[in-house]
Amino acid sequence: MLRYVAVLALVACSADTDERSASSADSLDKAHSWKVLNIEYRAQETGYWCGPASTRIALSARQSPPSQGALANELGTTVEGTDWIGQVTNVLNAHFGPGTYETHEMPNDPPTPMQHDMLWTDIVHSIDQGFVVVANIWAPANNHPPGYPNYLIKHYFTVIGYNPDTREVFIADPARFQGNETYWLRFDQLATLIPPKGYTAARLIGTSCPGGLGTSVGAIDVKYRQLGGCGSFLGVPIKDEQGTPDGIGRYSVFDHGSIYWTPATGAWEVHGRIRDEWKARNWEVGPLGYPISDESDVTGGKRSTFQHGTITWRAATDDFDVQITP
């Protein structure tokens, strides 16, 4: 069960003057099918220790955590708060081991569909492995979690559970605004609260398939699983993810195709005869650039769209219509 410790009322990145205790049991009853981690909850002890308090909650899921004051020193938190979510990542990795957590920036407001999907994937993966997600949020007056005062709140809180049926996440919030220590929050709302900041989550291990020789990871792994993973038309990974020769992107190769990713384009698959033609035109460093769509059906064939044009394959003649944008 969740454990609570009463503390002083706070301001700013903060709790309020209401000392009521939130009921985790009442909050959990709202869910139908859920998974919530056992953590030790303590509200933040100063108006600018939301970062240390959230870090402490994350640590408490797996070990006895240090005090908020000790963590404030480790994080480099000042009276201005904790500047960057990466500071939380570094401290969590110092306690759990290098590479356990990784930082995810969400500069796009609203987030891109890939960032939105990646956030859900990171939450599910982290909670399933017993790790709390820490989020750095900017909550304007018109987009607030329960109990927040009517102005912009710059804050850190933790995601300690999720409900796949209702697409909600369970929040442990060190601010404790109006007594709201824990509460369910719509995932789609969470995704709008994080930009332009970021979050830290347990590193994705990736997908390995029986008979495969590689592992897909990160955004490419998210795309692979969206397509069906090991049982998809791509088949199993035959080599680990690698950087592209131009240093811009990443790619993974599967039995029957590839997935390419860049920060600007996101992750997309390319396979079959269209992939053969793209290869003949020197892959991503050729005139077409990176893929920006999955292969789709067109009359009489298939088409993939790239940064600088399209490749259309005609089934009846097994030839190609290649359009390159000047």
pLDDT digits 0-9 by tens, 28-68: 554 457 899 999 999 999 999 999 999 999 999 998 999 99
Q: Which residue has the higher pLDDT, 4 or 316?
A: 316
pLDDT digits 0-9 by tens, 64-100: 999 999 999 999 999 999 999 999 999 998 988 877 8
Distance (Å, whole) CA 142 – CA 199: 21
Q: What is the mean pLDDT of residues 157-165?
A: 96
Q: Which of 21, 28, 22 lies closest to 169 in space, CA to CA?
A: 28
Q: Which residues contact 62 (CB under 8 A, 6 or more apart)?
A: 96, 130, 131
Kindly report the pTM of this predicted structure. Answer: 0.62
Q: What is the mean pLDDT of residues 227-232?
A: 93
Given a cut of 50, is residue 8 above it in pLDDT? Answer: no
Q: Which residue has the higher pLDDT, 109 or 13?
A: 109
Q: Can you give the pLDDT at residue 305?
A: 98
Q: Can you give the pLDDT at residue 32?
A: 54
Q: Can you give the pLDDT at residue 24?
A: 43
Residue 184 bridge partners (DSSP): 170
For 273-312, b/e burial (b = at least 16 CB within 10 A) is: bbbebbeebebbeeebbbbbebbeeeeebbbbbbeebbbb
Where are the domains positioned within the chain? 3-202, 207-324
Residue 260 bridge partners (DSSP): 251, 268
Is the Cα torsion angle 226, 307, 253, 215 positive or negative in sign? negative
123-127, 201-205, 274-278: which is most confident = 274-278
Length of the chain: 326
The answer to whether residues 202 and 132 touch, using CB atoms and an 8 Å cutoff, is no
Distance (Å, whole) CA 271 – CA 234: 8
Given a cut of 80, is residue 21 above it in pLDDT? Answer: no
The CATH class, in words, for 3-202 is alpha beta
Given a cut of 60, is residue 23 above it in pLDDT? Answer: no
The answer to whether residues 268 and 259 touch, using CB atoms and an 8 Å cutoff, is yes
Q: What is the average pLDDT value for the chain, to the nearest integer?
A: 88
Q: Can you give the pLDDT at residue 240?
A: 84
Given a cut of 80, is residue 22 above it in pLDDT? Answer: no
Distance (Å, whole) CA 241 – CA 238: 10
The answer to whether residues 39 and 167 touch, using CB atoms and an 8 Å cutoff, is no
Q: Can you give the pLDDT at residue 89?
A: 96
pLDDT digits 0-9 by tens, 99-142: 789 999 999 888 988 889 889 989 998 998 899 999 999 999 99
Q: What is the mean pLDDT of residues 5-26?
A: 38
pLDDT digits 0-9 by tens, 235-260: 999 988 888 898 888 899 999 999 99
Q: Can you give the pLDDT at residue 198?
A: 96
H helices of the chain, where? Answer: 24-28, 50-60, 68-75, 85-96, 113-128, 187-193, 218-226, 272-280
Given a cut of 70, is residue 184 above it in pLDDT? Answer: yes
Distance (Å, whole) CA 33 – CA 35: 7
